[in-house]
Amino acid sequence: MRVVYKGKERDLRALWYQNESIRFIDQRVLPHRFEFRDAETVEDVAVFIEDMTVRGAPSIGAAGAYGMVLAEINGMDLNEAAERLKRTRPTAFDLFFAIDRMLAAANDGVDMVDAADDYVDEIAEKCRLIGEHGNAIIPDGARILTHCNAGALATIDYGTALAPIRAAHKAGKKIHVFVDETRPRLQGAALTSWELVQEGIPHDIIPDNAAGHFMQRGEIDLCIVGADRITASGDFANKIGTYEKAVCAKENNVPFYTAAPVSTFDFSLISGFDIPIEERSQDEVRYVGSELICPETATARNPSFDMTPAKFLTGIITEAGIFKPGELDQAKLQ
Ligand code: MRU
């Protein structure tokens, strides 16, 4: 991703390994501050995943992969490290996929830094391919809705849902993006909008509950969202609110796509109801920043994800092409 940092345009990833530590773009303080945070231990990585310094399914997976490198450097038992990292956030499959791959690499005697670097480079390349395939479904002039942040910050580079959007823009198509603000943590308003500003892609942030209104009036031509876990049937979990958008899209005949690399697919599950859904602190709902926005004694619920059944999907954009939910091809995605 090209970003302007200290007055210069640079090529950066959401996180990378350097000097026996992991450097993360601190996603909690964007868009107003551009800062880094360094992790030197497995516990640092686990806390950074929990407090959302790093977020988005493939980026969490990359953090887990490099976290296993730190475990080896610090002489920690690898199985204990894997358990600690896997306890951080339960929904995104990439974390489990990446850690299991690192355990297998350690077992095979592969150098851990090489294994993690290869894993992360592969994910970035798969996201670039998602962009190429997804560009084909975006007509010139398209008005596209996206939810949460499924851009480079969430995926090391390029993005999943944002990769086809970047590719379409680069190809000269005149597109316009509707960005759901994505309460309660505002990943759309804070992060997706920031990425689109860096790329000069025209967009409007809309309140989360406005998408149905724009679809009903014919102002949205297609929806592309990311995914945190996709089952073998095509049911998938993504940021809370995705399900509602998919139902509204079907009602209004608006095509609805999810985009994800192989690391997000959990072929051991069929029904999306078996995907564990993280519930985060009620204070993320009760406060905006440090401001309490409800009565002191009010309580809140805060599911971080919801599950969208495959029947609402037009297609799944992957590095191997675009599949209908019924024709997911496990072999092609390896
Ligand atoms: O809670 P977050 O910010 O980690 O949730 C992120 C999402 O829901 C993204 O849409 C998903 O991880 C796909 S990112 C490529």
Tell whether ligand 1 has an atom less than 6 A from the beta carbon of residue 154.
yes
Strands 176-180 and 203-206: parallel
| Cα–Cα distance measured from residue 303 to residue 57, given in angstroms and rounded to the nearest whole number | 16
Phi, psi of 112 (to 5 degrees): -70, -35
Residues 280-292 have a mean pLDDT of 97
pLDDT at residue 6 in the model: 75
Full-model pTM:
0.97
Rounded to the nearest angstrom, the distance between the alpha carbon of 89 and the centre of ligand 1 is 11
pLDDT at residue 330 in the model: 78
- Please state, for a pLDDT cut of 70, what percent of the chain lies above it: 100
pLDDT at residue 68 in the model: 98
Residues 205-223 have a mean pLDDT of 98
CATH of domain 2-124: 1.20.120.420
Please choose from 148, 165, 264 the residue to mutate so as to test ligand 1's pocket, defined by most ligand atoms within 8 A of CB: 148
Lowest mean pLDDT, pick from 3-17, 93-107, 168-182: 3-17
Tell whether ligand 1 has an atom less than 6 A from the beta carbon of residue 58.
yes
Please choose from 228, 258, 279 the residue to mutate so as to test ligand 1's pocket, defined by most ligand atoms within 8 A of CB: 228
Give residue 119's region: left, alpha or beta (phi > 0; psi -120 to 50): alpha
Structure tokens at 204: 């409007």
Q: Which residue in the list 157, 180, 208, 228 is annotated as catalytic? A: 228
- Please state, for a pLDDT cut of 90, what percent of the chain lies above it: 94
| Candidate CATH numbers 3.40.50.10470, 3.30.450.20, 3.90.640.10, 3.40.50.300; the one for domain 138-333 | 3.40.50.10470
3-state SS class at 261: coil
Residues 230 and 153: beta-carbon distance below 8 Å: no
The domain locations on the chain are 2-124, 138-333
Residues 99 and 85: beta-carbon distance below 8 Å: yes
Strands 236-239 and 229-231: antiparallel
Q: Is 228 a catalytic residue?
A: yes
**Confidence band, pLDDT 50/70/90 cuts, at residue 329:** confident
Which residue, judged by its Cα, is nearest atom 8 of ligand 1? 239
Which residue, judged by its Cα, is nearest atom 15 of ligand 1? 150
> Does 110 score more than 80 pLDDT?
yes
Q: What is the CA radius of gyration of the chain?
A: 19
